[in-house]
């Protein structure tokens, strides 16, 4: 067992060295069958109020983690349709070309293609590229967006894009100012940049998986995007905040940077304090649901189960084994267990605890169809999905 190496950084937005710790937690993760200790803390910049992870792990560690723990789910067509409408409302009628960075399975690009746009997409995962081809006939480029990609693009003489967009990518980027500056280099003058991220002012507390944890290293608010616009000389065209996310349209207007910073420190400090209180209350409610269980099988070998174990929620329960639907995990070590295929449930005589929030109902339906005699244990009475609920500390708008 070893501790993941991390490096302390200055604020990625304003560059200040001054911060206070707002939230901290230590995780166990398993990468290539090695048990790692991953201390995390989210800090609040004292100059601009940005919430970010500090210290931060290196890029290689993050990539290993994403490959191990994050799976490719189905994109929400409903949510993508909302994104298309927001884009159309703010795009010039003469715009023709659009690039999506992190295009996933191509759901959004397929919709804008049907609106008449000429579409291009970058996607680093083979799974995503294959799904986009199979589902929509889209030919995505398997690549990361970085300085090397931009240099190659500019050297090739390819035309710049009218629109560049990226959804739920920016919160994973360690140098957001440099990343967005690279985006401007491949966006036409007066073209637009469309970004969507979780809204840090509405952290979701009714889920074992922490809103402030490993997955995201930057936590954006409307004010932080206004600060970024001033730093980079971008024109902020419009912001909307539905469903616990922020959608932003920047115009590549080449304005003179103002470097004027609005400090939201006190507001963001209050958000984190409120979140911690809600989370404590939520964890107590989960403990009550688990009372009386003695022997279980856990369905799900991911961060959800990891946090349940580390929060001590399963201390009084005997875990017989852990299964997962992801073939990449079969045979790998997860705490003191070897992850097994769901096929082993054919002879299961124990209750199965569904250890997932987003996929709870999907897993439940699978178990009902394939193993109808198994008793299921669900943790969530009402799953608020990404495309129909509000993420603000368990309260629905």
Q: Contact 43/9 with Cβ under 8 angstroms? A: no
CA-derived radius of gyration, the chain: 22
> What is the pLDDT, as a whole number, of residue 393?
43
> What is the pLDDT, as a whole number, of residue 255?
86
> What is the pLDDT, as a whole number, of residue 385?
55
Displacement of CA 227 from its chain's centroid (Å): 22
The DSSP letter of residue 260 is -
> What is the pLDDT, as a whole number, of residue 348?
93
- Residue 392 neighbours by CB under 8 Å, 6+ apart: 201, 202, 203, 204, 244
- Among residues 215, 173, 158, the alpha carbon closest in space to that of 40 is found at 215
Rounded to whole angstroms, the Cα distance separating 50 from 261 reads: 11
> What is the pLDDT, as a whole number, of residue 389?
37
- Among residues 42, 356, 37, the alpha carbon closest in space to that of 207 is found at 356
Q: Contact 227/236 with Cβ under 8 angstroms? A: no
Rounded to whole angstroms, the Cα distance separating 341 from 370 reads: 13
For residue 19, the tally of other CB atoms under 10 A from its CB is: 23
> What is the pLDDT, as a whole number, of residue 368?
97
Q: Contact 68/253 with Cβ under 8 angstroms? A: no
What's this model's pTM, rounded to 2 decimal places? 0.89
Rounded to whole angstroms, the Cα distance separating 10 from 18 reads: 8
Rounded to whole angstroms, the Cα distance separating 147 from 154 reads: 11
Rounded to whole angstroms, the Cα distance separating 40 from 212 reads: 9
Rounded to whole angstroms, the Cα distance separating 178 from 384 reads: 34
Q: What are phi and psi of 56, to 5 degrees?
A: -120, 145
Classify residue 221 as exposed, middle or buried by CB count within 10 Å of its CB (0-12, 13-18, 19+). buried
Find where tokens 């115009």 sit: 251
pLDDT tens string 44-99:
999 999 999 999 998 888 877 777 666 555 555 667 889 999 999 999 999 999 99
Give me the domains of the chain, ranges plus CATH numbers: 2-58 (no CATH), 77-268 (3.40.50.150), 292-377 (3.40.50.720)
Mean pLDDT per 10-residue segment, the chain (397 residues): 91 97 90 85 98 92 74 62 94 96 94 96 91 95 95 95 97 96 97 97 88 92 96 96 94 88 97 95 93 95 91 94 93 92 94 93 95 95 57 39
The two three-digit tokens of residue 336, written as one number: 């003191």
């Amino acid at each position: 067992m070893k501790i993941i190496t991390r490096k302390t950084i200055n604020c990625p937005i304003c560059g200040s060295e001054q911060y206070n710790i707002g939230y901290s937690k230590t995780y166990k993760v398993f990468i290539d069958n090695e048990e790692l200790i991953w201390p995390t803390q989210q800090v609040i910049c004292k100059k601009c109020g940005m919430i970010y992870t500090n210290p931060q792990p290196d890029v290689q560690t993050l990539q290993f983690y994403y490959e191990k723990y994050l799976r490719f789910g189905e994109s929400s067509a409903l949510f993508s349709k909302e994104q298309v409408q927001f884009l159309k409302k703010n795009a010039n009628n003469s715009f023709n070309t659009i690039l999506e960075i992190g295009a996933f399975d191509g759901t959004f690009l397929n919709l804008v293609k049907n609106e008449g746009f000429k579409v291009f997409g970058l996607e680093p995962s083979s799974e995503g590229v294959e799904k986009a081809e199979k589902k929509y006939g889209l030919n995505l480029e398997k690549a990361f967006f970085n300085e090397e990609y931009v240099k190659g693009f500019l050297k090739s003489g390819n035309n710049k894009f009218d629109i560049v967009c990226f959804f739920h990518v920016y919160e994973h980027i360690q140098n957001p100012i440099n990343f967005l500056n690279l985006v401007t280099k491949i966006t036409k003058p007066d073209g637009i940049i469309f970004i969507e991220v979780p809204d840090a002012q509405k952290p979701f507390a009714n889920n074992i998986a922490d809103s402030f944890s490993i997955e995201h290293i930057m936590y954006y608010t409307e004010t932080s995007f206004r600060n970024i616009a001033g730093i980079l000389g971008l024109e902020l065209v419009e912001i909307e905040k539905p469903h616990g996310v922020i959608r932003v349209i920047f115009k590549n207007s080449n304005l003179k940077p103002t470097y004027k910073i609005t400090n939201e420190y006190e507001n963001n400090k209050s958000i984190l304090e409120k979140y911690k209180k809600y989370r404590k209350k939520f964890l107590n409610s989960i403990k009550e649901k688990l009372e009386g269980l003695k022997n279980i099988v856990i369905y799900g070998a991911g961060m959800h189960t990891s946090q349940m174990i580390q929060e001590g929620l399963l201390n009084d329960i005997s875990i017989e084994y852990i299964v997962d639907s992801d073939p990449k995990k079969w045979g790998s070590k997860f705490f003191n267990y070897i992850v097994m295929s769901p096929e082993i449930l054919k002879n299961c005589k124990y209750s199965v605890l569904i250890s997932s929030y987003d996929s709870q109902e999907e897993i439940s339906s699978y178990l009902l169809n394939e193993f109808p005699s198994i008793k299921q244990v669900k943790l969530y009475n009402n799953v608020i999905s990404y495309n129909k609920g509000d993420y603000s500390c368990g309260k629905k708008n």
